[in-house]
Structure 1
């Protein structure tokens, strides 16, 4: 589509989709394989079908990838830096989070039998996967990718070389997936972090995005001359500032949302656990009251028995009576 002096119209942007086979075919294949796994699990385990929410999350992640790579965002990411930043956030944060929430690896294990089940498990527990999913590796890798692709001249290559741009897109998705897998996922890898540790992993990325965004906001010159080859839109420096603000504000907002998504189930689980403990305690006290007839009025050697001690003595006496009855029945 030829660009006009005023830039593309809204209608042109909405209709601007590019059907890149190297992107479209893998996306369609991933959707088909995932849905096949869902149907396989439903057929073999009708009482425990695959959760609808996980399916919606995974397909939503594929939809985010399609928008980021095939829509006008994928076209103009090498024309406007702030559009590049929109694509960056979609690829490194939003899409990986949705794909991971879909639990595709767990689904693959549930939907397959040996030898494929065993092969998948061996790959997930392999040394290579263990290393790349280690938080001590994933966090520095995430930081390096964000800093190198935004605070160096690397973007000049991205704008001028389509192959480099495609490699950058794939890198964003892969690094984002590996990073969030340890801090957001529940897949059967070797790293089983506690919920607070997972939240800490997510917290550690916020300074990276904030530092990069503020650095871009403070620049007074255009760091990537390749982005200046247009006659419409914001001037190059303002364009960089828009992108920096998006990295800082939108990036941190997305990360906070992911932390809340990890925190809420943990708090809810602790609340349910506390409720179960209260239920058990109430049942125990009710049992003590029920068998209070076994409670002695006083302890040997004198002294009154308070209410809690009476309940405990009653319960212990009942247990002793039950044990004696079982012993007598066994003797017969």
Structure 2
């Protein structure tokens, strides 16, 4: 039978990773992933053809980020995620924490600004519209820590601890909307923190680290609360299909453990990336300072030589 209008059968065999990774594409995410890869590839090819360089590491990070979305939304993991809390939580964590970090490391906004041609004087093309969006008040609001951190936290507590979750899981459209929301929240939360692409807010590296860790304790506590709950928290997963041979509370506890783990691992990876960025930024600043000092030294030497030459001329 169909589950909550999602158009999938609940008569699933017990979950294994091999079964979970079998092909079962959600049309929306399949098109979105292919479109994202296609546009990114177009941008890289355009830069290369005109003789510009684009770091291979950025391309690799972006492709893996998009593929991670495909792995949880275009396989049977998406089917199991409709009836298993643990699999759903894995989807949530990948699409809200892993995929955004990797996509942002790919610097898609920077690539678009370099690849898109200017529209010409007095006209507005895609590049000009993108610049307008980046400098808009809307972007300043949704990328400000006063918005991103509460939204990041609310996406956990206000969703799973209210009837909203069951409502969204009641249809395929609601489920897709929820997953798109998870990805969007992850993007706006990590965008200013990663600092790879240009944006309205450019906090210092220390502030980025503080923003990163501001929301993580709430995330960890959420995972612990789910893991330690003695009653099912959401109706959707209260009675798993009999074919899964699954205990609902044990599965819920596993979901909490997954949420807790994902509050730690991605945070460490982002912290390492930030420390490398900080070090590289300091090295670039030191090189600029050295070059400026060299130029000033050359000017002083030239002035001194000119002074000696004037003395010599007077003596003659």
Equivalent residue number for residue 50 of structure 1: 54
Q: Counterparts of 1:5 and 1:32 in 2: how far apart (Å)?
A: 34
1:65 partnered with 2:69? yes
Contact 1:209 1:252 in 2 (8 A): no
Distance 1:330 1:101, change over 3 A: farther
Q: RCO (CA 8 Å, sep 6+): is it higher in 1 or 2? A: 2
Deviations 1:229-282 (A, max 9, x none): 31234411111111111111232221122111111221344357568878999x
Q: How far did residue 186 of structure 1 move?
A: 2.2
1:7 aligned onto 2:11: no
Larger Rg: 1
RMSD: 3.0
- Cα contact 1:150–1:212 (8 A) shared by 2: no
1:5 positional shift: 8.4
1:143 pairs with one of 153, 171, 194: 153
Deviation per CA, 1:116-151, whole angstroms, max 9, x where unpaired? 332221111111111111121111111111212222
The answer for unaligned runs of 5 or more in structure 2 is: 1-7, 120-124
Q: 1:329 to 1:131 in 2, by over 3 A?
A: farther
Correspondences of 1:193-204 after superposition (within 5 Å): 193-204=203-214
1:179 and 1:111 map into 2 onto residues whose CA distance is 25
Distance of aligned partners of 1:109 and 1:86 in 2 relative to their CA distance in 1, 3 Å threshold: same
The one of 224, 248, 268 aligned to 1:214: 224
Deviation at 1:171, TM superposition (A): 0.3
Whether the aligned pair in 2 keeps the contact of 1:183 and 1:198 (CA below 8 Å) is yes
Aligned to 1:186: 196
Of residues 93, 99, 108, the one that matches 1:95 is 99
Residue 44 of structure 2 is aligned to residue 38 of structure 1: yes
- Counterpart Cα distance in 1 of 2:110 and 2:36: 15
Are the aligned partners of 1:85 and 1:246 in contact in 2 as well (CA < 8 Å)?
yes
Mapped to 2, the partners of 1:113 and 1:101 lie a distance apart of: 23
Q: Tell me what 2:252 maps to.
A: 240
Name the counterpart of 2:135: 125
- Alignment CA distance shift 1:156-1:329 (3 Å): farther
Aligned partner of residue 160 in structure 1, secondary structure? coil
For 1:105 and 1:42, locate their aligned partners in 2 and report how far apart those are by CA, in whole Å.
Answer: 17
Q: Structure 2 vs 1, CA of residues 236 and 109 (structure 1 numbering), >3 Å: closer, same or farther?
A: same
Shift of 1:8: 4.6
Deviations 1:151-206 (A, max 9, x none): 23333224332221111101000111011001113222221111111111111121
| 2:263 alignment partner, SS class | helix
1:73-130 Cα deviation digits (max 9, x unpaired): 2111111111111101111011011111111111111012222332221111111111
1:24 aligns with 2:34: no
